[in-house]
Amino acid sequence: MTTPSAEALRRFKRVDLEEILEDAQQRLSQTPEETLQQWRDNIFRETKGYSDLKILKSYMESSASRLTDNLKSHKAYLDSHQENEFSEKGVTFHNEYVDDESFELVFMASEIEKFPPMPVLPPPEPLIKVCGVVEEVEFIKARAWFDAQAYMTTDDLQAFKAQLDSKGMVGAMLTNSFSGSSVSSYGSSDKVNCLYTKGKINGKTFSGWFGMTDIRPGDRVEMAVAPYGDSYLVYAIASPERRTVSFVPGCDFGTKTVNLKQGMIISLILGLIVYVPGIWGNTHGWITATITYLVICFLFALFILRRIQEKTNASWFSLTKFAMY
- The residues, any chain, with a CB within 8 Å of residue 160's CB and separated by 6 or more, are 117, 152
Please give the pLDDT value at position 96. Answer: 95
Q: Which of 67, 81, 76, 87 is nearest to 8 (CA)?
A: 87
Please give the pLDDT value at position 189. Answer: 52
Please give the pLDDT value at position 298. Answer: 72
Please give the pLDDT value at position 270. Answer: 60
DSSP code string of 142-160: EEE--SGGGPPPHHHHHHH
Please give the pLDDT value at position 218. Answer: 92
> Reduced to 3 states, what is the DSSP secondary structure of residue 114?
helix
- Enumerate the H helices of the chain as residue ranges: 6-12, 17-29, 33-43, 53-80, 88-114, 154-166, 168-178, 255-279, 286-324
Please give the pLDDT value at position 299. Answer: 74
> Reduced to 3 states, what is the DSSP secondary structure of residue 188?
coil
User: What is d(CA 146, CA 232) in angstroms, rounded to the nearest whole number?
Assistant: 19
Per residue of the chain (325 residues), what is the pLDDT tens digit? 567 788 999 999 999 888 899 999 999 999 999 999 999 999 999 888 999 888 888 898 899 889 999 999 999 999 998 888 888 999 999 999 999 999 999 999 889 888 888 888 778 888 999 999 999 999 999 988 776 555 555 565 556 555 545 545 455 555 554 544 444 444 445 678 899 999 999 999 999 999 888 899 999 999 999 998 889 999 999 988 888 888 888 665 544 555 556 666 666 666 666 555 555 555 555 666 667 667 777 777 677 666 655 544 433 333 333 433 3
Q: What is the pTM of this model?
A: 0.67
Q: Which of 244, 184, 249, 175 is nearest to 211 (CA)?
A: 249
User: What is d(CA 60, CA 108) in angstroms, rounded to the nearest whole number?
Assistant: 5
Please give the pLDDT value at position 214. Answer: 86
Say which DSSP state 122 is in: S
Please give the pLDDT value at position 180. Answer: 42
* In the chain, domain spans: 6-114, 128-247, 255-324
